[in-house]
Amino acid sequence: MRPHFTRRDVLKAALPAFSLSQLALSAQVSSKAEATKLGMPGLFRGRVVEVSHSGCLNAGKYQAEPVQQMMRAGLNELTGAGGWNDSWRLFAQPGDVVGIKVNPVGAPDIISAPEVLREIIGGLNAAGIKNRDIVVYDRYHDQFIKAGFPQWLPDGVRWMSATKDFDLVQHAIEGYDPDHFMDIGVTLHGYDATNLTARRSYAAKFITREVNKLINLCVLKDHGAAGVTLSLKNLSHGLVNNVNRSHSTKGINVTGAFIPSVVSLPVIRNKAVLHILDAVKGQYQGGPGPVPQFIWEPRTLYFATDPVALDHVGWRAIDEKRLAAGLKIITEAEPDKYIARRIRQPEHIEIAGAMGLGEWDWEKTTVRKIALA
Looking at the chain, how many residues does it have?
373
Whole-number Å distance between alpha carbons of 343 and 349? 15
pLDDT tens across the length of the chain (373 residues): 343 444 334 333 333 444 688 888 788 899 999 999 999 999 999 999 999 999 999 999 999 999 999 999 999 999 999 899 999 999 999 999 999 999 999 999 899 999 999 999 999 999 999 999 999 999 999 999 999 999 999 999 999 999 999 888 999 999 999 999 999 989 999 999 899 999 999 999 999 999 999 999 999 999 999 999 999 999 999 999 999 999 998 888 999 999 999 999 999 999 999 999 999 999 999 999 999 999 999 999 999 999 999 999 999 999 999 999 999 999 999 889 988 888 899 999 999 999 999 999 999 999 999 999 8
Determine the pLDDT at residue 239: 98
In this structure, what are the phi and psi dihedrals at residue 122, rounded to the nearest 5 degrees?
-60, -40
In our burial notation (b when 16+ CB lie closer than 10 A, e otherwise), range 8-47 reads eeeeebeeebeebbebbeebebebebeeeebbbbbbbbbb
Determine the pLDDT at residue 22: 82
Count the neighbouring beta carbons within 10 Å of the beta carbon of residue 257. Answer: 26
- Which DSSP string corresponds to 197-251? HHHEEEEEHIIIII-SEEEEEEEEEEETTTEEESHHHHHHTTSBS--GGGG-SSS
Residues 6+ apart with CB under 8 A from 257: 20, 21, 23, 24, 27, 184, 348, 351
Determine the pLDDT at residue 20: 81
Helix (H) or strand (E) holding 138: none
Helix (H) or strand (E) holding 5: none
Determine the pLDDT at residue 183: 95
Q: Taking the chain, what is the end-to-end CA distance rounded to the nearest angstrom?
A: 25
Classified as helix, coil or strand, 252 is: coil
- Contact predicate 152/118, CB 8 Å: yes
Determine the pLDDT at residue 1: 39
Determine the pLDDT at residue 247: 94
